[in-house]
Amino acid sequence: MISWVRDRFQALPPVLRVRIRRLWLSAGPILQCSVAAGLAWWFALDILGHAQPFFAPIAAVISLGLSLGRRWRRAVELVGGVTIGILVGDLLITQIGSGAWQIVVVVALAMAVAVFLDDGPLIPMQAASSAVLVATLLPPGGIGGFHRAIDALTGGLIGILVGALLPANPTARARRDAAGVLAIVRDAATELATGLREQDEDLVYAALLKGRGTQAAINTMRSDMRGGREIGTISPLYWGSRMRLQKISATADPIDNGVRNFRVVARRALAITQRGEEVRPELIEIIADLSGAFEILREMMLADPGQSPDAADAARVLRTVARKARPELVADRGLSETALLAELRSLLVDLLMVAGLRRSSALATLR
């Protein structure tokens, strides 16, 4: 059955496959947001007795969002922004009345206070919108603004509670994101080696473009790793996974640095190719081997605990590649190949760190 579904999925047009995959990956957060919105409305309306508590479900959805990261931060920014906007709006509108120029003053002052107190992007927007409500719809001095602040607090807390009790798997998204980044660079390394072997400038440039196009995926990976650690902290269901989440999060910097170093390697290779120079086969072989190194790291990220390949398997493959990247390869060569080898060695250090080695141990491997 699973293979039949996979075959039908692969038969779909690429654009549709991308959209379906995006929807599938967002199914968990969508479920969380919808449940939290309904619970927040029910609690504010039936338990607290607030009439039309529209901001409770809004706050619940904003505090959760589709991203796993910084949910506590979003909830705090939301409540803080609403409170600032209501206080500033209530105090000013009571003194200066309502109108167009009063809205200008209230919004400017509420946003200024929010920016002064915190650098979060959500606080100024919520402060401004709350101040506008006080200046236009909510009577100053009334309880409407107070109820709005309580609704914001209620929605934010319910959102966090739903995220804790109905959590997305905190390791799955982070591992999948990291594997996706490594897969892109794996393919780029294969393309780069082929381009250098054939002295094909277009292939080398295409490999560089692939490396450059990974930044959005890296940012998503970092966000989901932070979100995974946050879920591991607040959700009792995943308290036992906190150590594993820390290990997964520890790969973020070396993966990012490794991709950046690959871009440097690709840029240097492009410059060599454009000058019509040849790269010695041993260096090209190292770049080709990097494709296999990225692949085993990708498989390592996706493997469950106790499955292969693990970090030790990946480290063995990388040590084999590192032994080939010896300085003697460029002892009688020009500056271009010397610099290329130096960048490859730096990249190998990053990849060894992805496999769990400390930086000092990774550097010792290259020595």
Cα-based distances in Å from 271 to 93, 196, 243, 248: 64, 11, 44, 35
Q: What is the pLDDT of residues 119-136, one digit of tens each?
A: 777 788 878 887 887 777
Angle (CA) 316 318 320, round 5°: 75
pLDDT of residue 17 exceeding 80: no
H-run or E-run covering 330:
none
User: Is residue 25 helix, strand or coil?
Assistant: helix
Whole-number percent of the chain with pLDDT over 70: 91
pLDDT score of 206: 94
Q: Rounded to two decimals, what is the model's pTM?
A: 0.72
Question: How far, in Å, CA of 163 to CA of 36, rounded?
Answer: 8
pLDDT score of 212: 92
pLDDT of residue 174 exceeding 90: no
Residue 26: phi and psi, rounded to 5, are -95, 0
Contacts of 221 (CB under 8 A, 6+ apart): 174, 177, 178, 180, 181, 252, 255
Q: Exposed, middle or buried, 27 (CB in 10 Å: 0-12/13-18/19+)? A: exposed
* Helix ranges restricted to H, the chain: 2-10, 14-25, 27-42, 55-64, 71-96, 100-117, 122-136, 144-165, 170-198, 201-212, 215-234, 242-249, 252-274, 281-302, 311-324, 335-354, 359-366
Token pair, residue 169, equals 């798997």
pLDDT score of 267: 94
176-197 in b/e burial notation, b at 16+ Cβ within 10 A?
A: ebbbbbbbbbbebbbbbbbbbb
